[in-house]
Amino acid sequence: MSDNTSTPQNSPAPETRPAAAETPPVSLTGKGVPRPTPKATKYPGGPAADPAGSHHERRIRSFQPRRSRVTAAQEDALKRLWPVWGLDIDGHRVLDLDKLFEGRPVVLEIGFGMGEATAQMAEGDPDTGILAADVHTPGQGNLLRLIEAKGLTNVHVANGDAIILLREMLPPESLAGVRVYFPDPWPKKRHHKRRIIQPEFLALAASRMAPGALLHCATDWEPYAEWMLEALTADPHFENTHADYAPRPEFRPRTRFEGQGLGKGHVVRDLLFRRV
């Protein structure tokens, strides 16, 4: 992997898009709210602490940054490999996905945990690019470590808010798929508004997905699975590829997190909807 890490491959020339283009509903935009300068990272050359200042937006976020210890191996990967395979979701440029992924079709994965499943999927399908977005620093470091260990060239790690990534940094109809695996279910009723699968999110994601692209969701929280199925069925941009829930496709690995849920008696549901 040393040849792949010596020269950065994720530095597409910035493009300019009018700020008013393709603005989604107000609840997602935070329109007119200035973003502060990103906070400095504790890892020189690594991911920014808050690349877009997204906590200043007037919307409810679907994620909570998790604080956990970064191991020495993860820290080393963040310092060495972030300039090669990482990018901050700052909202200030539109990504050239063809250049970034060398012409591969690109799937956006929102929330990859520690990255084991992402690396496994990338290794099993080297002709597909994976843009993996998360805010969990140890997971970012671990995925970078796996990218190097497996010699992967089809994964880039994005740090920050996936809504900003979709809304401001991805061109319309540029994605071959979107994956949302085991998002926070926010089980309390008063927190349901924080769930990422909402009509506004689906409309935004659909605008960035090419016709025929696949939206793949998975959850081990049955009430959230029902919520997802209802929201996706009601959205005119998508059609279900199955009668209701789908069997787990072979390309989605069974993760440790999933195994823990199954051990507790949870039922894992996959949903596969196609962009029409």
pLDDT digits (tens, 9 = 90+) for 52-82: 775 446 566 655 665 668 999 999 999 999 9
pLDDT digits (tens, 9 = 90+) for 213-271: 999 999 999 999 999 999 999 999 999 999 999 999 999 999 887 888 889 999 999 99
Residue 215 contacts residue 232 (beta carbons within 8 Å): yes
Is 184 a catalytic site residue?
yes
pLDDT of residue 36: 46
Long-range contact set of residues 55-58: C-beta below 8 Å, sequence gap at least 24: 56/30, 57/29, 57/30, 57/33, 58/30, 58/33
pLDDT digits (tens, 9 = 90+) for 166-196: 999 999 999 999 999 999 999 999 989 999 9
Handedness of CA 88, 89, 91, 95 (dihedral sign): positive
- Asked if the model's pLDDT at residue 12 lies above 80, the reply is no
- Sorted by sequence, the CB contacts under 8 Å of residue 211 that are 6+ apart come out as 173, 275, 276
Q: What is the mean pLDDT of the chain?
A: 85
Q: In the numeric block, which tokens belong to residue 16? A: 């300019």
Catalytic residue, chosen from 184, 220, 235, 270, is 184
Residue 135 contacts residue 159 (beta carbons within 8 Å): yes
- Round to whole Å and give the CA distance between 36 and 53: 6
More confident residue, 98 or 257: 98
pLDDT of residue 48: 81
- Asked if the model's pLDDT at residue 6 lies above 90, the reply is no
The whole-angstrom distance between residue 23's C-alpha and the CA centroid of its chain comes to 20
pLDDT of residue 14: 39
Q: What are the strands of the beta sheet with 129-134, ordered from one edge? A: 86-88, 155-159, 129-134, 106-110, 175-181, 209-219, 269-275, 238-240
pLDDT of residue 8: 39
